[in-house]
Amino acid sequence: MEEFRQKVEREGKNLGNGILKVDSFINHQVDPSLMDACGLEFARRFANVGATKILTAEISGIAPALMAGRHMNLPVVYARKSKPITMPDQVYLTVAPSHTKGRLVELIVSPEYLAGGERVLIIDDFLASGATIIGLVRLAQTAGAKVVGVGALIEKSFEGGRAMLKYLNVPIESLVCITSMDNGKIVFGDCK
Amino acid sequence: MEEFRQKVEREGKNLGNGILKVDSFINHQVDPSLMDACGLEFARRFANVGATKILTAEISGIAPALMAGRHMNLPVVYARKSKPITMPDQVYLTVAPSHTKGRLVELIVSPEYLAGGERVLIIDDFLASGATIIGLVRLAQTAGAKVVGVGALIEKSFEGGRAMLKYLNVPIESLVCITSMDNGKIVFGDCK
């Protein structure tokens, strides 16, 4: 994913406090061709995990999850952060701290679309502290589903998320790895 | 889009009060292949409007807009409903009533990604009262951009949105047209 790394390097902005602004191609404006290439790469890396469903969190996870789902021919479920009126009363709900919002957010999935026995691939835009992804893991496990992999567009390894997810014992794949954002810089590296 | 109409007929649920639940393939779980087919159809219908950007609203507009963007090779901007910390202080902001939330929601776009001179194609999941789409039109016009078309996955013609948008004098295309949801039924028709 050298193409994607170059895009992050060229257009990503370090706003301080570990906040990486990638609003020009992921978080506000989206580059569909690039997201599609990322989806294809996820499909390649997770070809052998036997996933039956992709799980992500609204809002920014939708684009990469959708494109991964397209290439893997899998349905995508995005956890809602507020309960729409179309959702049944009984739901799976957890809370996770949001780094960019500075507060706890709810993650809600309807039991209609996440069932026991499913093999769930989690895809999100960022792997940072791992808090959102661990929230998605809890939802999957509550539903009786098995998490079989975790993929992120961008990993900020200095926030320690990968270590937090190690207990899952599943493949963790990030397409771009950032090892430091100290002093206004963005340092790329290897997150393995 | 007979394939798409059949999916709506098979899986759409009339919850009353004009609420159509399509959570199994659009609004919570997403069918990537079907969304891709819808994106291709939007690309076909809007091939000649000269669009330079696609504008949608988070959350449910993202999937169809992204797939349309893929086939039209255009960037997609999704209006945010709350201002993330990565956004500059000066933004374009409007409010629109949300039918499913029963309150006003904000629609926010950064001037970084919506500029004067752009030719904007608006894509959303539903065309109902037209309120959200008119909000997006206001954002585009405030930015000095020109709206060149409006596309929706599903139109509920009985809510009158098409008439509200007529003043724009641009092509309005919906892939599925529902003319009535009275008495628990879902009646399909022609929205032209």
Asked whether the beta carbons of residue B70 and residue A24 sit closer than 8 angstroms, the reply is no
Higher-confidence residue of A111 and B98: namely A111
Tell me the angle at which helices B62-72 and A62-72 cross, rounded to the nearest 10 degrees.
60
pLDDT tens figures, B55-84: 999 999 999 999 999 999 999 999 999 999
Q: What is the pLDDT of residue A39?
A: 98
Residues 6 or more apart whose Cβ sits within 8 Å of residue B22: B8, B11, B12, B13, B125, B154
Q: Does A28 contact chain B (CB < 8 Å)? A: yes
Asked whether the beta carbons of residue B86 and residue A62 sit closer than 8 angstroms, the reply is no
User: What is the distance between the alpha carbons of residues B2 and B25, in angstroms, rounded to a whole number?
Assistant: 16
Residues 6 or more apart whose Cβ sits within 8 Å of residue A113: A75, A77, B23, B24, B28, B29
Residue B101 has pLDDT above 80, yes or no: no
The ipTM estimated for the assembled molecules is 0.96
Residues of B in contact with A33 (CB under 8 A): 70, 73
Query: What confidence tier does B99 reach under pLDDT thresholds 50, 70, 90?
Result: confident
Q: Does A27 contact chain B (CB < 8 Å)? A: yes
- Nearest by CB to A59, from B27, B58, B101: name it: B58
pLDDT tens figures, A8-17: 999 999 999 9
Q: Does A75 contact chain B (CB < 8 Å)? A: yes
Q: Does A76 contact chain B (CB < 8 Å)? A: yes
Q: What is the pLDDT of residue A37?
A: 98
Tokens of B22: 């399509």
Closest Cα of chain B to A152: distance in Å? 18
pLDDT mean over A118-123: 98
Minimal-distance CA residue of chain A relative to B58 = A59
Asked whether the beta carbons of residue B100 and residue A84 sit closer than 8 angstroms, the reply is yes
Residue A99 has pLDDT above 80, yes or no: no
Q: Rg of chain B's alpha carbons, rounded to an integer?
A: 16
Asked whether the beta carbons of residue A32 and residue B76 sit closer than 8 angstroms, the reply is yes
Q: Compute CA distances B118 → A56, B95, B115, whole Å.
A: 32, 22, 6
Q: What is the pLDDT of residue A100?
A: 72
Residues 6 or more apart whose Cβ sits within 8 Å of residue B183: none
DSSP 8-class letter at B80: B
Sign of the CA dihedral B129, B139, B31, B68?
positive
Query: What confidence tier does B192 reach under pLDDT thresholds 50, 70, 90?
Result: confident
Number of helices followed by number of strands (H, E) in chain A: 5, 11
Minimal-distance CA residue of chain B relative to A32 = B70
pLDDT tens figures, B22-32: 999 999 999 99
Q: Compute CA distances A10 → A3, A6, A191, whole Å.
A: 11, 6, 20
Give buried/exposed letters for B3-38 (b at 16+ CB in 10 A, else e). ebbebbeeebebeeebbbbbbbbbbbbbbbebbbbb
pLDDT tens figures, A50-88: 999 999 999 999 999 999 999 999 999 999 999 999 999
pLDDT tens figures, A40-55: 999 999 999 999 999 9
User: CA A53 from chain center: how many Å?
Assistant: 14
User: What is the distance between the alpha carbons of residues B110 and B86, in angstroms, rounded to a whole number?
Assistant: 10
